[in-house]
Every structure is written in structure tokens, then in C-alpha cells.
Structure 1
Amino acid sequence: MSNENSQVVNFPRDTTMQKLVQVQNSQMAGATDVQYKEKVAAATSKAEVDALFVEWWKYQYIPELYSKSDMLERWFGNVLEDSRVHGVTTPRYAKSTSVIGELTDDSTGLVCTPSTETTAGSDPFAHLPQFWCLEVAAEKKADGSHEIHYVEHIDSTGDVRSGEYLCWVLQKNTWKREWQDADYKYLKTRCHPAPGYKRWPEGTDRTGKVHEYMAHPKYYAGIGSDGRITCGTGLKPINRTSHSAGISKWKVRGPQYSGASGSLPKFLDTMNRLKYGRKGNSGKIEGCSSYNFQYTAAVSETGVERVILTTAQAANLFVGSAVMLGIQSGTDRNTASNYSVFDGKLITAIEKVTIDEKEYSAVYVDNGGVTFDTTAGSSYLSTSPYYSGWNDNVLGRDGSRYNPASGKEPGMIQGVEFMNGSYLIVSDELWQWSQDANENYCFDCYKCYDQSKVGSAINENYEKVNVPTLVFPKDTAAWTWKYITDNAINDDVLWPEATNASGSGVGVGAGFRCVPAASGVRAAWCFGTLNSGGDAGVACRGSNLGVSYAYWHGSLGAPGLEG
């Protein structure tokens, strides 16, 4: 049957004929979904599944009967189905300090290699029902439900990623189980329920509806063309802001929003474990942890949109990355003088130039046509957090544009971009310092499960999360990095189980910034920065930043489906 023949006549909504046609179409839809389930099961590549999705959609989509959300519920719930179990076993730190684990069950023998802009890596998971993913543009409603407006492969990529609506990445809402014994941690996922397995929290919205897909923001937050905060490509990160200010910005978009959820780092960590068999992302898809470059101009110029550097200095910079410029006053990017000319503008080109018979490199920036003067030895160029969309042209769902292991650029896993060179400020968690009866310092995690009630104080809207209280002796030195052995087992948050690993290259490969206090609520800053080096990672946490604290290296995130 052709798609044209399956279209519905627009009878009045309340007629018997309309209801009859709806029933007939529902029966046909069920049969079609079974057929495409079998086709997807026989596919051997993501490209095949993509093509099947388009074919299925064009054959089935009837706007008079189905919303785009309805269609995606069917696709993820009925078509993306199999009996596989995907698993990973990782050693607890006491058993082995290594970050390397072992894939198990139906993942045994599957080997992932991250992609770049020019080379497609190996991703044997990409076409499988539990891992196939899809970009959409969606908006959450005031009641916590959502509407999907644009769909990858069906609508234009430009619309999906534009930021008109929030750009999400959808993936099947599977059943997941985590547990541990004395030596190992275990993680398994499957398409069907089983004892001990639960569905992902980010697959349930605030109305309580459990969706067949879960959704995560594709990018950090930015300001869209309408002046409101959003999630889309090509946007400057919203840094130099705080947890409290971030909530206010999201409330302008709607009372249902507060910002990034702590479920995002948990998801990224889980996908890294399931696909790469590792306890941390560092060294595989590193993210931007080592892109810390600051240079004074080598030559003075007037009325330009460029900075002259030595060729060796300019070789460290990427066209398309962001920089700030000011008059040098120390090295702190938060000192106003150091970004007094411009803050976070894109490098558009790097070209060799000869000045007074000496070769230099000219670093051109997009300053909107506004020219400036530079002074040799004092005009100070510093790298900044990346704009969203750095990895849009990567030839796969995992990787980085040039070199995923370099530490110089944002990472991407399952289509979600992370670690742009600044901490991600999670909105729905608050962390708290206290002291116990022995004056040991204690650090706890609290979470608000309703984004419309997120605030800046731990109150009746917050629940203490069932993860270990981090305890530090009363003589613990402040402003030290400690290293995370393992992450605690919890469905809702990514949290250190302990922080006594011997260094940054073991355990989960990430650090905990330890600044003990007798009391105080702290904002949830995750991932690390472009100058964190081995301390950074998806599991990295900072414990010193209050809810009103703003700095260049903290940026706002975007919400997903839950809450």
C-alpha cells in the first residue's frame, strides 16, 4: 500500500466514520511496526536503520491521527526491540586501580573506536535498538509534558539544531540494572523488564508518563535568536554566571525549566561504560581539559580584527574555537582587564603573515565588524569555552572533530556534546558541607525532582540522595584535588563512592576538588575546565562553589525530558 492510499479523510472529529478509520489505522500500524521491527533486526549498520526509519515514517505518518511524539513512541517502543542484554563489568578500586573493565553478554567482542570529522570510527552499537539515537527539537510544556516539533532525517537538520526549540537526543528507554560485590561493579541493560531492572529516570516526565524514549540535551545552553536561553548549535556558552542566575534565565523561557539535570552526567558515564568498557571517559573521549593557551600580541596594530602571534603559538589554536582579548593583568580569565576588548569570540582564520621581514601568524576573530587596537607585549589573548556544535560534522555519534583523545576539544558520546572547556552547572542538585560529632567534614548530595521547584536552598523540595556521604578528617587541607576511586551506584546522580585514589590516571580518571567547610550549600559544578588536565572528566566534581558564585569556567546546561 502506498503512503497516499493510507491517508485519512478529514471527517469531523466526533463522527462514527472517523472513529472507525482510527481503529483500522491502529490495527494497520501494529502490523507495520512488527514488519519494521524484523527489518531493523536484520540491519547491520546505522545507515540501514536510518533509512528504515525514514521509510517507516513516510509510510505511517498521518498528522490527522498522530503527533510526532506519538510516532516516536511507536518507533522506540515497538520497532526498536530485541532480546539482547548489554553489559559491562568493572573492577572496584580495591580489586584493581585500572579504569579498564570488560564488556559482557551480547556486548562481548564489540569494539568501539571514536570518530572524527574526517574518519568514521567503529561503532558496532550504533544500529542496535538500545543505542540507535535520534535528534529532535522539542519544547516542554508547563505541566511537564512536551511536544516534538522537528525530527532528524524527516525535517531539516538546520531546524532540528537551530535552538528555536530545545535540541534533544532521543534513545530507547531501556531497563537498566547496576549492582556490585566486593570486587566488581556490574551494569546491564535490556529492552524488556526483568527482576532488579528499572527504566531510566529521564524517560519519565513530570506528569508521571513513562515514555518509550529518554531524552538528553545535545548541547550546553546558549542564547537563541529570540534572546531566550535555549539548546541549539552555534551558540556561545552562557558562562560567567551562577546556579541561581541560571535558574532565573530558564524561568524566563518557562516555569517548567531550571536547567541541566544531574541525570546527564550519569547518562554519559553509563554510555561510556557500556560502549567502551571503561570507568571514565579520560583518555578515550577526553573532552576539553587541556586547551589552556594565553599569549600576548607579538606585533602592535590599529583598527583590526586579528591578533598577531608567533607561528608556534598560533599552531596551538583551532579555527572555530573561542578566545577572549584584553590587556594583561595576571593570568586569571576572570580579571576584567583580561577580557576587556572582547569575551568569547570565534577564531575565523589563522594565516601566515610577514611583518618587517619576519614571519608570524595572524589569528582572525569574528568581532562583528568592530575593530580594535593591539599592543605588543600587553594585549592578551586567552582560550575560552567552546561554542555549541563543535562536533556537528563528526562522522559518528561518538568522538571529537579532530582527535578525541587530545584534551583540546569537546567530546561527544551518543550524539551528546560534553566538556566544552567549562564546568557544567547542574541545576537540580545541591551539595552540602557539614561536620559530624567528631568534627569530620561531611559532603552530601540533595536533588529536586521537579524542575519547576528547583531553587538555591535545600528545603522540602529536595531529597537527600542515597549515595555515600563523603567524609574527610577535620585536619584535611583545603583547596586540594582528591581522586575518585569509583562512582556510587545510583539511578539519579553521578557521585563519588570514595575519593582516596592515588592519582588522576587511576580509578575513574577524574578528580574531586576538596574545599571542606563546617557548613554551606554548594552548587553542583561538574566536568572540569579547559585547564584542569587530568583532574577533569565526566565524573569530576567541585565542592567549593556557592549558589551565587559566577566565573568564566562555569556554564549553564539545558534540561532533558524528565522533571
Structure 2
Amino acid sequence: MAVQVNKVMTFGDTVDLITKVHKASANPVAVAPHYDGTKGEYDNLGEWFSLRRDGKVYGVDIPEYTYSNDPKGIKTRDNVGLVCQPATNTTAGRDDYSKLNAFEYFTVNGTVDDSGKFHCTAMKGDGRFRADGSNGDVWVMACPGYYSITRSNGYKRLLYSDTKYEGMRPLPGQKYADGTERPLLVFSPYLAWCDSNNVPHSYSGKVHTFQFGSHDTGISYSKKKGAGYTGRTVADNFYLQLMLMIKYATQDLQSLGGCTDYANQYKVLEAETGVNRVLLPKAAADYFLVGSTLNCGPNSDRGATAGQSTFAYRTVTKIETMSDRCAVYVDGAPFTTAVDDYVSAMPWKTGTCDNLLGTDGYPIAGKPKQRQPYRIQGIEVLCGAYEPLCDVIVNQVKTSADEGHCELYKCFDSRKYSSALDANHVKLDLELPARDSKTNGQWMYNEDWQESAKCPGLLVPTGSKGTSTTGTCDAIYSNPISSPGLRELQCFGGLGNGSMYGAFCGLSSAGLGGYGWNYGGRLSGLGVTMA
């Protein structure tokens, strides 16, 4: 169905405008967020977001791979002429979206109750907000949104608005399980850190807990926090994919930034005792970045105990260059180094992008952006760790010695998630690209994507003949012939391997409980939903 958006003021528009004015005059407190000190939360955010709606429609046309393999698109409708330039800690960049209702976000503290309702307890700037966990989890809060995806004349045509028009549907996760719509959306800006009881949290300044980075632990650990929480979902993925395509008119997230090429290791050149530095080859000075995270130990396996026995997850504070070597300084207690200890780059800590001078971007200007996390809509992504979907299960099926395929199953209500393909999981209409004996167990670049009819918002990669600069610019790994069975779908990408990672990357190889040092989970507040 075509989206009906008449940009001329209609009678219905006039009625809506009059209604807004009436609501504002009848309830003037809704013009601004209102904090109820008795309840300890904001109590009018739904009405506030409703009054902020402007009805603008932002579009982008992305070419279908069979028409053009260019990952870039063309902005349409109210999106024409708008620009978003990545910011850093020292440069703001132009951002025409930051104050538009459909794109403006608010960094908040809050909780999710067992029914999936979000309770906002603080907003950045109100004096109560804290990013470090002292006032609870940190979330990015945004208005409800509506979108459509159609195809014509060789293009995928995406539209997005803060107002629902005929032919548009609510964003994934926007509906509660009973079918009513959420008054607002929330997303976790950080990978999750888990406390000693394995309860996950969204805090700044933490080393993410890689054990939370599996399908099963993303579910089980979240339930320790409450029935309304879960790990990453399709809704969380789609929001980032949509924002990427609408704001930047591209499918290539790595063209903007993201830590996908930061896996080097260097050996210690000289042993020292009681120091906060490691003496490394001079090349390490140009490679390692101040603010990033390092491990050190006698083993090159950075996830093993011996790979981090000298120090673990320390932040680089400064780097000094000498005539034939360099000294890399880290925070924390002094330590003793040994010759040939391995110093390894690790995933960045949460909150790395907290000090950007703009909405989107990466922290350090003048340094390779492929070694730094990227923030989009206030959400840090590509931090050096894969992120699993907790609402999707892959069933890898071997059909012959030379053929295999990957079925997709989706559970729509996080309170019913499990590691079994029970009646709560719906077999979807699309699958990951099929594999043969030559492509099984290989990273294969996607050509395009298709939206699932049974799971709106799930953009399933198609084709396997793309490249790092064509199509989605991202790749899928699966091995149904050599390893059939249930698998988790890991997204975005890890610390190294570079060009295959991004917004449309997928890794289907680990079992549903699989995780490693380069995995990481993320809380979701959008799991209690319906198809």
C-alpha cells in the first residue's frame, strides 16, 4: 500500500492542530516533562511527546542490488537537504537532525516493570541524572515512530515519521503485548555490565560482561533483573539500521566509524617492576589509542587467564614515543612486566562516546575511526564485541553434502523467550542466504536485504556476491553443512576482521549459550511486545 502523505494542510490536519492546542491549554504542564516527586518519576512523557509531533516525513531511496550495487541512497521528502556530520570530543560537526522531534533523543535513568512499561526517574540535565549507575540504568529515550518500506523502479523506499499515515506501521517493539502502543521508546546506549549476582546493568565506565553475550544468558541474566527486561531484540537492531539509512543515506555503517580493525598485539621489550606502563615497539605508539582498553600477559590468547594475568582491561592514559620504542601508560595499580608479555587491544569500555560534542560520531579526531566505537542516536555500537539477538533463533539445516540453509525463528514476547523451538517461536518467511560446499563456513558479503513479512523490522540479508564496498557492505557467516543445529545470531561485529562488520552483519556459528571475550550483550526494554 502506498503511503498517503498530503503535504497540503487538510481538514484533518487542522483538527489535529486544534486538538494539540486544546490539550496544551487544558494541560499546560504537558508542554514540558513533569517530575512527580511523590512517585519518583516523570508522569507526562507520553503527552509531552504527543504534543511535540510535527508530522514531517523523512525518506530515503536505497538502490536494490540488481539495479545498482551502490550502498548509498537518495534522501526524499522532508529529508532532502538535511545533513548529519559525525562529531568527536573536540569537533561538533553539522547536525540538522538533533532538534527534530523524530530524531531528538534524551539520555535518562529509568526502570522497566514486569509489563514492559518504562518508568523514567531522571533526565540528563535535571540534577538527578547519573551515568555511572548511582541512580540506576542509563537509557536513550525517543518518541514513538512510524515507518514504511516499499519497492519500486529499482529502489527500496523507506519513509519515517513521528506521525502515523496510511500505509505506515509502528516501529518494531512499539506495541505492548496487548496491542496498545508505548508512549515512548527506550534503547540501551551501552553494552551490559553484570554485577556479582549476574544482574545486567546499563552503566557508563564499565567493562562489559562477555558472559552476557549469548542468546541464552541474554535471557536468563535479564530475568534476574525483572520480567520486563531482556537482551538485544530485532526492535533494537532495526532502530539503528533505520537511523543509519535515513540520516546518512547509506547502508555502510563502517564508512562512518566503528571499532572493527583494532586487534593488534605487541610484545613487551623490557621487564619492569612496580610500573604503570609497558615498553613496546615504536609502532605501537601509532596503533594504540588513548582511552582504549588493553590486556597484558604471557599468553597471546587475550581471553585466557594467562593473556590478562599482568593486567586486565586497563584504560590507556598516555603514550610516549622514544628513539627506538614507546611507553604505553595505563590506569590502575602498579604491576610487573616480563619480556615477551603480550599487550593486546580489547573491546572499549562503556561510555567511550559520552563526551562527543554532537549526537553521532566517534571520540578521537585525527585517529583511525575504524579503531573507535561509533555512536548513533546516543547509542554506542561496534565497540569491539558481537551482540546477540535474544528473540531470534537460527536453525542450521544440512540438506545434503553440498547444500545447507538457515531457518529463522522469532519469539515476540520476551516473557516467553527460551532456548527451545517451542510453540512461542514462529518460523519466519525468510532465511539467511543458503550455503554450498564452497561457501559453508565462510564470510560471504550480502548483496541486499528483505524485510520479513512475519517479523516486520527484521531485515534479512540476501545474496552472497556483494563486497566490502557494494550492497550492504557487510557479511554473513554460517556453516549449516558442517555444523547443523540451533545457533544464535550475533550482530554488528567483533574487534578485528574489519570490513565484513556493520549494521547488516550476522554470525551464525555458536550454540545458543555460546560466548567469548569478543561477545557482549545489551539490555532491551522493548521485549514485551507483539507481532
TM-score by length of 2: 0.88
Distance 1:448 1:283 in 2: 33
Post-superposition CA distance 1:7-56 (Å, at most 9, x none): xxxxxxxxxxxxxxxxxxx998631778997xxxxxxxxxxxxxxxxxx3
Amino acid at match of 2:346: S
SS in 1 for 2:328: strand
Q: CA, structure 1 residues 418+163, in 2 after alignment: closer, same or farther (shift >3 Å)?
A: farther
The answer for the alignment partner of 1:136 in structure 2 is 108
Mapped pair 1:348 → 2:348: no
Q: 2:76 aligns with which of 91, 100, 104?
A: 104
Matched with 1:461 is: 424
Q: Say whether the 8 Å CA contact 1:443–1:470 is kept in structure 2.
A: yes
Counterpart of 1:412 (choices 375, 384, 408) is 375
| Aligned residue identity for 1:128 | L
Pick from 496, 504, 513: which aligns with 1:548? 513
2:10 maps to what in 1? none
| Native 8 Å contact 2:172 2:457 kept in 1 | no
Mark the CA change 1:342 to 1:458 in structure 2 (over 3 Å): closer, same or farther. Answer: farther
For residues 252-267 of structure 1, the aligned pairs below 5 Å read 252-267=224-239
1:165 aligns with 2:136: yes
The alpha-carbon distance between structure 1 residues 252 and 226, as it changes in their structure 2 partners (threshold 3 A), is closer
Quick check: 1:532 aligned with 2:504?
A: no
Paired with 1:346 and 1:124, the residues of 2 have a C-alpha distance of 34
Tell me by how many angstroms 1:83 deviates.
2.7
Partner secondary structure for residue 294 of structure 2: strand
1:385 is aligned to 347
Amino acid at match of 1:77: S
Query: Are residues 341 and 323 of structure 1, via their aligned partners in 2, closer, same or farther at CA, if it must alter by over 3 Å?
Result: same
- Deviation string 1:197-256 (CA, Å, 9 cap, x unpaired) is 111122233454412321111111113599732001111111155332333322222233
Task: Confirm or deny that 1:294 pairs with 2:270.
Answer: no
Tell me the secondary structure at the aligned position of residue 313 of structure 1: helix
RMSD value, Cα: 2.7
- SS at 2:499's partner residue? helix
Amino acid at match of 2:203: G
Query: What is the Cα deviation at residue 435 of structure 1?
Result: 3.7
Distance in 1 of aligned mates of 2:133 and 2:335: 31
When residues 257 and 91 of structure 1 are mapped into structure 2, their CA distance, relative to the original with a 3 A threshold, is same
Aligned to 2:148: 177
Q: 1:496 aligns with which of 460, 485, 494?
A: 460
Secondary structure of the 1:232 match is coil
Flag the structure with larger Rg: 1
Q: 1:327 aligns to what? A: 298
SS of aligned partner of 1:407: helix
Q: In structure 2, what is the equivalent of residue 70 of structure 1? A: 43
Among the aligned pairs, what percent are the same residue? 27
8 Å contact 1:144–1:256 — kept in the other structure?
Answer: yes
Residues 150-173 of structure 1: CA distance to partner in whole angstroms, max 9, x if unpaired? Answer: 11232344x255364322111111
In the superposition, relative to structure 1, how do residues 67 and 333 fare at CA in structure 2: closer, same or farther (>3 Å)? Answer: closer
Write the distance in 1 (CA, Å) between the matches of 2:487 and 2:198.
Answer: 29
475-484 or 537-546, which deviates more: 475-484
Choose from 266, 273, 277 the match for 2:249: 277
1:507 is aligned to: 471
Amino acid at match of 2:407: D
For structure 2, the residue ranges without an aligned partner over 5 or more in a row are: 1-19
Aligned pair count reads 504
The offset of 1:289, in angstroms, is: 0.5
Structure 2 counterpart SS, 1:346:
strand
User: Which deviations, in whole Å up to 9, do the C-alpha atoms of 1:34-88 show, x marking residues without a partner?
Assistant: 8997xxxxxxxxxxxxxxxxxx34xx55556x8745321112112x111311000
Question: Could you list the per-position Cα deviations for residues 410-455 of structure 1 after superposition, in whole angstroms to 9, with x for gaps in the alignment?
Answer: 0011111111011012222211111458973111222222222222
Counterpart Cα distance in 2 of 1:35 and 1:258? 33
Secondary structure, aligned partner of 2:319: strand
The normalised TM-score by structure 1 is 0.83
Query: For the Cα contact (< 8 Å) 2:362–2:369, is it kept in 1?
Result: no
Alpha-carbon distance in structure 2 between the residues aligned to 1:388 and 1:297 = 27
Q: Is the CA contact 1:483–1:512 (under 8 Å) kept in the aligned structure 2? A: yes
Matching residue of 1:8: none
Query: Residue 557 of structure 1 corresponds to which residue in structure 2?
Result: 522
